[in-house]
Amino acid sequence: MHAADERRAADRLELDSAIQQVMEERTKFLSFHNSVCELVEQLLEPGIEDKNLARRTRELETRLAEQSQLLEASELERKRLREEIEVALKTEAERRNAVISEIDEHAKAETPSFKPRSIVPMATARGSFTNSRNAKRQAEAIKSAERPEGIVAA
């Protein structure tokens, strides 16, 4: 039995040694597995970032399209309102002109028409005014001649 015990002890040592090697290999494998997992995550991370970036890009493109439609609608509304303002201003100007014309017509109807005098009567009137001034001067000269000397007319 002694040989059998030695053989068992040797087998036991061999088994313990094999278990130890398996444990070391398992530790190495787990370390390798963890390294591989980290590398896979690192490789997938840009893919995830790319997916997130692509999703965000789609969202922004959608928002841009919506904003473009809103801008176009507001531009059309602004153009329509400008046209309405132009029409309103034109109508206002036409009405103002109509009111002014109506007021002018009423004013013409209420006041007698003015007919300017001919140029000849005006010239005659000017001449008579000039003649009356000359007559006044002559009358004053005659009066001063009739006064005695040294007396000055006040």
Question: Would the pLDDT of 69 be above 80?
Answer: yes
Structure tokens at 71: 């801008």
Closest CA to 153 of 139, 76, 28, 21: 139
Give me the pLDDT at residue 154, please: 45
Give me the pLDDT at residue 115, please: 54
Show me where the domains of the chain are located: 11-110
pLDDT in tens, 92-105: 999 999 999 999 99
Give me the pLDDT at residue 123, please: 47
Instruction: State the average pLDDT for the chain.
Output: 82
User: 113 vs 23, which has greater pLDDT?
Assistant: 23
pLDDT in tens, 116-143: 555 445 545 445 555 666 677 777 777 6
pLDDT in tens, 2-21: 888 888 888 899 999 999 99
Query: In angstroms, rounded to a whole number, what is the distance separating the alpha carbons of residues 43 and 55?
Result: 19
Identify whether the C-beta of residue 153 lies closer than 8 Å to the C-beta of residue 143: yes
Question: Would the pLDDT of 150 be above 90?
Answer: no
